Chains A and B, each alone.
Chain A
Amino acid sequence: MKRTSLVLGVALTALGALFAYTQGQKPLDPFEEAMRQRQMYLETFGILPGELYVEEGKELFYRKGPSGKTLEACDFGKGPGVLEGVYAILPKYFPDSKRVEDLETRIHTCMQKVQGYKPQEIKRDEVRAITAYVASFSSKARMQVVPKHPAELAMYNLGRELWYWRAGNRDMNCAACHDRYAGRRVRLSPLRSPSQGLGSEWPAYRFEADKLYTMQDRLAFCYESIGIPKPDYYSESYIALTVYILAEATKAGHSFEELPFFTR
């Protein structure tokens, strides 16, 4: 058994070297590079950075708020205390808050309404970690964002409008890159359209930034890179765009990556 894997290992290395040799001038593939970095992390530390955020998020999830409650009392879409697969069905409409919420917004809402925190007491990094923890229960889950409630349909329509909304001194919108040039590269970064599964990798640890990025963080990064100031966190633009992107990815039958993902 051991010998087989050794032989296989040598054969793979040789194949890899041959590939590298024949490719020569080929620019670095960001996805391959991320997987290489991920492997290095595993070999060096025995743990991935995303797992550290998940651990931190778990502690925060079971921390009692001013009301004496933990986030176990929060309904994330499948009833209080249920975490399995909830990330894959969000954003959705919540009758208690009367709005469509994605996971981070839902956490933000429950920390106030269930746990009794004041908005200014809620740290963004804590919401990020809790998002990583809850999302880890939907690792590789099939996406199931299907707008049905009128408020969800309204958010989908708003998201589609924002997707095409050209603004700022770079004259940009999302569609001009992600739809029209899906499969091509911005510098070295490959572009994906929603129907190609855009959004499947968040929340993720980005080794270039050495930070955990949630879907809202990633959308904020997009806006800033096209010369538009990022919206305030938990605001409707994020939720609308997320509904639109994930609903389109759901239609095409995509699943989430290992969550939290490891990426550049």
Chain B
Amino acid sequence: MKRKGILVVGLLLLGLGLSQVGPFRARLEAAVRDGGTEFARVMLAQDKAQALCSQHRDRLPANLLPTFLAEQRALIQYPEGGKLMGDWRKGQEIFTDPRRGNCYACHSGDPDEVAYGTIGPDLRGYGASRGQGEAVQRYVYEVVYNAWAYFPCSLMYRGGVQGHFTPEEAAHIVAFLLDPGSPVNRR
């Protein structure tokens, strides 16, 4: 009887212990809260994928990759009607706008734009060298909408998933990169 009592108390204590956040995590959250409600609200609203990338310093171990990629792929939405290449002129606007695509921060695109970043691949002539085939369109669309479905924890943020553009607008960006008439592919 007495032994059973000890076991129950022990199990309760174990459960209590496991349900607590670790002391380091608690200290970290306190430090973040010290920065004020707005900062804490965004910092502590990490989703599961952001938390995994942070925990693994942006390099996921191989055993986590299949689930991570599948979950990110499932977040991709497609335009109604399934047309993956839209209007390159509209795409150019979103690509350029710092509050939306902000793509020039990391990529080149229109060869006339000289204030481009060198972090991501050089996109000048992207469509001219790859064509506009169905597979190319799909790949570009999916990377633009959710880069983490191909490159886990990449610097390239999940523009579509995070609502910086709609599926239709993602298709416009695809057109800006692939359409032969777009300045990206101008000779």
Contacts and interface: CB of A to CB of B under 8 A. Distances in A.
Interface in B109-131: 114-119
Interface of A: 25, 27, 154, 157-158, 161-162, 164-173, 175-177, 180-181, 184-188, 191, 223, 227-232, 235-238, 240
B76 interface: no
Given A161-B28, A230-B39, A166 B155 contact: no
A237 B32 contact: yes
Nearest to B164: A169
A237 B34 contact: yes
Contacts of B54: 161, 164-166, 173
Nearest to A238: B35
B163 interface: yes
Contacts of A237: 31-32, 34-35, 39
A161 B116 CA distance: 30
Interface stretch (B45-53, B167-175, B176-184): B45-53
B107 to A, nearest CB: 10
A32 to B, nearest CB: 15
A152 B124 CA distance: 47
Interface string B149-170: 0000111011000111000000
B117 A185 contact: yes
A186 B50 contact: no
Contacts of A175: 57-58
B38 interface: yes
B165 to A, nearest CB: 12
A196 to B, nearest CB: 16
A167 B155 contact: no
Interface in B5-31: 24, 27-28, 30-31
A166 B119 contact: no
Contacts of A168: 42-43
B36 A171 contact: no
13 contacts: A27-B114, A165-B54, A166-B53, A166-B54, A169-B164, A176-B153, A185-B117, A185-B119, A187-B104, A229-B41, A236-B30, A237-B34, A238-B35
B158 A171 contact: yes
A236 B36 contact: no
